[in-house]
């Protein structure tokens, strides 16, 4: 391939160790200028590590970074930025109360005689926004802008600093399908203007639809690199996981029982400001045992509030009116603990915030919520022998890696954190499973696993309430689909009754 144009970025034999873990092991990677280059791999495969070294966040132990044919040694991201590399992190680096304009100027203020030249900066940013078709309301506090626009601000920040090579880390993790599509349209425009874009993701669909080249990581090594047009999702999935993966699991028809797992009637939650729109208005539905009910919707249409209301119905901040039944009991005034004790398992929306004690060992995370069950405590005293035995068994059964009960949960990859939560919640032998965003930020291998487990729970007689922004989750798993829009149930479909396009329209409120 000697005739190719020189690479925009080349990594040669890049190696990085964190303690005893080899995060990158001789990684070689070439990225052509003016392309969208997908970097895929499971969580913890080393793709983010490689990109963070490219961006100067930490130095490689061995190997070379070559940018535009020059070997580079970065002291810090500032050096990488000076060389024209920019990165949009998964969690945006934005200061909430400041305006979009201020956020871009932070750290890159054009200063003359100690005065920030805001006007000049603004003119230039507006020109950039026009050029790349990235409109932004410059004067609103950033926290009031939609997530998609916040991301746009992050990208403009890079363009403002003259980045030629843009690294985006899991950019769609926080976006709705519509927002994601728009993002990719914009990225293509940027590519056509000559920018080089590196897209870190684990979503095969994004790679297949929007990239020119793709590099696959597994266990700290590159296991494949090819033009996107010459591969297919199955091949990529196999390269990522290292074995044959079933991409579309086969969900057998449900044997729904007549017994109700849960029901809510006229559930409402008033807005926080008097007179503002209700966050939940008059939500009524039920879930039978042996049935998966999917709740689709764009983020921010009341799904989080719904979950809080059914788990903490007695708290006035979670529920204004309405009734909640679980397994035939009116639990409207119950404490969360008693509700959970009925056999309610919960995969929380945000696993790090609501599901895990990140600094505590895996064993304690496995115990969380089960500490009062007779298996793990007697007379208020914990039974650590039983706990360790059960946790060891669960790690095996749910394939939580590494098999180490002592490491902090925060050190696990996203997929393994999710598996840990699933392992723990299924320990309850659930009669009702509430699964919120069960595959968010989880790699393909783990998605397959989690989907299978949810179906198995259903087939063992649990009712499942599935809340997800991923249409794939909803369409694959749900026996019935509810669409939430502005705090209401806007539509209901049975399995197979609705296409992805139609569902998208209902989610957008039409």
Partner 1 sequence: MRKLLQPVLAVAFGLALGLGVTRLAGENPWHVLQILWKSAFGSRYDFGMTLFYSTPLIFTGLAVAVPFQAGLFNIGAEGQLTLGALATAAVGAVWPGLPWPLAPALAILAAVTAGTVWGAIPGWLRAKRGSHEVINTIMLNFIAAGLASYVTLYLLKNPDTQNPETRPIGAGYLISQFGIFGGAPVSVALPLAILAAVLVWIFLWRTVIGFEMRAVGQNESAARAAGINTGRMTIIALAVGGGLAGLVGVGEVLGNAGKFRLGFSPEYGFIGIAVALLGRNQPAGVVAAALLFGALHKGTADLDFETEHVTRELSLVLQALIILSVSADGLWSWMKKRSAA
Site string for partner 1, 393-412 (x = CB under 8 A): --------------------
Query: Which residue, 371 or 499, is less far from partner 1 as judged by CB?
Result: 371
Query: Which residue, 312 or 495, is less far from partner 1 as judged by CB?
Result: 312
Residue 184 beta carbon to partner 1: minimum distance, rounded to whole angstroms:
30
Query: Which residue, 27 or 433, is less far from partner 1 as judged by CB?
Result: 433
- Please answer whether residues 292 and 464 qualify as being in contact, where contact means their C-beta atoms are separated by less than 8 angstroms: yes
Query: Which residue, 62 or 382, is less far from partner 1 as judged by CB?
Result: 382
Please list every residue from 347 through 376 that binds partner 1, using CB under 8 A.
348, 353-360, 364, 367-369, 371-372
429 contacts partner 1 (rule: CB under 8 A)? no
Please list every residue from 310 through 329 that binds partner 1, using CB under 8 A.
311-312
Exactly one of 341, 399, 486, 492 binds partner 1 (CB under 8 A); which one? Answer: 341
- Please answer whether residues 392 and 405 qualify as being in contact, where contact means their C-beta atoms are separated by less than 8 angstroms: yes
Residue 241 beta carbon to partner 1: minimum distance, rounded to whole angstroms:
29
Query: Which residue, 62 or 317, is less far from partner 1 as judged by CB?
Result: 317
Residue 311 beta carbon to partner 1: minimum distance, rounded to whole angstroms:
7
CA atoms within 13 A on the CB side of 396: 6
248 contacts partner 1 (rule: CB under 8 A)? no
- Please answer whether residues 336 and 320 qualify as being in contact, where contact means their C-beta atoms are separated by less than 8 angstroms: no
What is the DSSP secondary-structure string of 354-394?
Answer: II--TTSBHHHHHHTTTTTSTTTEETTEE-HHHHHHHHHHH
Residue 430 beta carbon to partner 1: minimum distance, rounded to whole angstroms:
13
Q: Is 202 helix (H, G, I), strand (E, B) or coil?
A: coil
Exactly one of 14, 339, 433, 481 binds partner 1 (CB under 8 A); which one? Answer: 339
Give me the torsion for CA of 349, 350, 354, 355, rounded to 10°: 90
CA–CA distance, 218 with 41 (Å, rounded to integer): 6
Residue 499 beta carbon to partner 1: minimum distance, rounded to whole angstroms:
34
Token pair in block for residue 221: 């090594």
Stretch touching partner 1 by CB under 8 A, among 77-85, 107-115, 278-286, 339-347:
339-347
Residue 314 beta carbon to partner 1: minimum distance, rounded to whole angstroms:
11
- Please answer whether residues 20 and 194 qualify as being in contact, where contact means their C-beta atoms are separated by less than 8 angstroms: no
Exactly one of 97, 316, 380, 501 binds partner 1 (CB under 8 A); which one? Answer: 380
Residue 396 beta carbon to partner 1: minimum distance, rounded to whole angstroms:
23
SS (H, E, C) 386-399: HHHHHHHHHHHHCC
CA 92 to chain centre: 13
Query: Which residue, 312 or 488, is less far from partner 1 as judged by CB?
Result: 312
337 contacts partner 1 (rule: CB under 8 A)? yes
- Please answer whether residues 326 and 339 qualify as being in contact, where contact means their C-beta atoms are separated by less than 8 angstroms: yes
Q: How far apart are the first and last CA of the chain?
A: 51
Token pair in block for residue 118: 């805001």
265 contacts partner 1 (rule: CB under 8 A)? no
Provide the 8-state DSSP code for 2: T
Stretch touching partner 1 by CB under 8 A, among 180-188, 209-217, 345-353, 496-504:
345-353
Using CA atoms, how far residue 77 sits from 51, 57, 85, in Å, is 11, 6, 9
Exactly one of 335, 459, 460, 502 binds partner 1 (CB under 8 A); which one? Answer: 335
Token pair in block for residue 183: 């993002």
66 contacts partner 1 (rule: CB under 8 A)? no
Residue 139 beta carbon to partner 1: minimum distance, rounded to whole angstroms:
30
Residue 49 beta carbon to partner 1: minimum distance, rounded to whole angstroms:
15
CA–CA distance, 179 with 185 (Å, rounded to integer): 10
Q: β-pairing, 115-116 with 111-112?
A: antiparallel
Residue 377 beta carbon to partner 1: minimum distance, rounded to whole angstroms:
5
Residue 358 beta carbon to partner 1: minimum distance, rounded to whole angstroms:
7
Q: Is 440 helix (H, G, I), strand (E, B) or coil?
A: coil
Token pair in block for residue 425: 């919640």
Contacts with partner 1: how many residues (CB under 8 A)? 30
H/E segment holding residue 28: strand 21-31
Tell me which residues touch partner 1 (CB under 8 A).
Answer: 311-312, 335-341, 346, 348, 353-360, 364, 367-369, 371-372, 377, 380-382, 384
């Amino acid at each position: 391939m000697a005739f190719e144009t020189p690479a925009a970025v080349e990594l040669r034999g890049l190696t990085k160790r964190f303690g005893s873990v080899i995060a990158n092991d001789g990684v070689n990677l070439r990225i052509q200028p003016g392309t969208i280059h997908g970097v895929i791999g499971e969580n913890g495969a080393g793709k983010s590590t490689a990109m963070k070294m490219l961006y100067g966040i930490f130095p490689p132990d061995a190997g070379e970074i070559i940018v535009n044919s020059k070997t580079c040694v970065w002291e810090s991201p500032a050096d990488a930025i000076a060389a024209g590399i920019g990165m949009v992190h998964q969690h945006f680096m934005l200061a909430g109360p400041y305006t979009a304009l201020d956020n871009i100027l932070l750290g890159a203020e054009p200063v003359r005689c100690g005065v920030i030249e805001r006007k000049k900066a603004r003119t230039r940013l507006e020109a950039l926004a026009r050029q790349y078709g990235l409109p932004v309301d410059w004067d609103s506090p950033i926290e009031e802008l939609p997530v998609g626009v916040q991301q746009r601000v992050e990208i403009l920040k890079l363009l403002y600093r003259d980045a030629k090579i843009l690294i985006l880390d899991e950019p769609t993790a926080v976006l709705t399908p519509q927002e994601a599509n728009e993002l990719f349209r914009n990225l293509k425009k940027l590519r056509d203007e000559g920018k080089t874009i590196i897209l870190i993701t684990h979503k095969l669909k994004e790679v297949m639809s929007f990239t020119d080249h793709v590099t696959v990581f597994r266990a700290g090594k590159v296991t494949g690199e090819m033009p996107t047009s010459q591969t297919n999702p199955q091949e990529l999935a196999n390269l990522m996981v290292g074995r044959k993966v079933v991409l579309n699991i086969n969900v057998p028809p449900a044997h729904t029982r007549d017994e109700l797992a849960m029901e809510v009637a006229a559930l409402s939650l008033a807005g926080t400001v008097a007179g503002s729109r209700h966050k939940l208005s008059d939500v009524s539905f039920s879930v039978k045992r042996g049935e998966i009910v999917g709740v689709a919707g764009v983020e921010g249409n009341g799904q989080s509030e719904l979950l809080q209301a059914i788990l903490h119905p007695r708290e006035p901040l979670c529920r204004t009116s309405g009734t909640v039944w679980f397994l035939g009991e009116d639990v409207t005034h119950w404490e969360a603990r008693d509700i959970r004790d009925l056999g309610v398992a919960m995969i929380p929306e945000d696993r790090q915030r609501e599901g895990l004690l990140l600094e505590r060992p895996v064993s304690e995370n496995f115990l969380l919520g089960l500490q009062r069950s007779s298996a793990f405590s007697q007379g208020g005293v914990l039974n650590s022998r039983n706990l360790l035995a059960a946790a060891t068994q669960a790690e095996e059964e749910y394939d939580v890696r590494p098999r180490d009960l002592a490491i902090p949960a925060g050190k696990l990859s996203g997929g393994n954190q999710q598996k840990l939560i699933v392992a723990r919640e299924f320990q309850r032998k659930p009669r009702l499973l509430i699964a919120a965003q069960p595959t968010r930020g989880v790699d393909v291998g783990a998605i397959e696993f989690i989907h299978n487990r949810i179906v198995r729970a259903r087939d063992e007689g649990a009712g499942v309430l599935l809340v997800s922004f991923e249409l794939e989750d909803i369409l694959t798993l749900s026996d019935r689909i509810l669409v939430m829009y502005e705090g209401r149930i806007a539509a209901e479909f049975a399995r197979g009754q609705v296409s992805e396009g139609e569902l998208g329209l209902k989610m957008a409120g039409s």
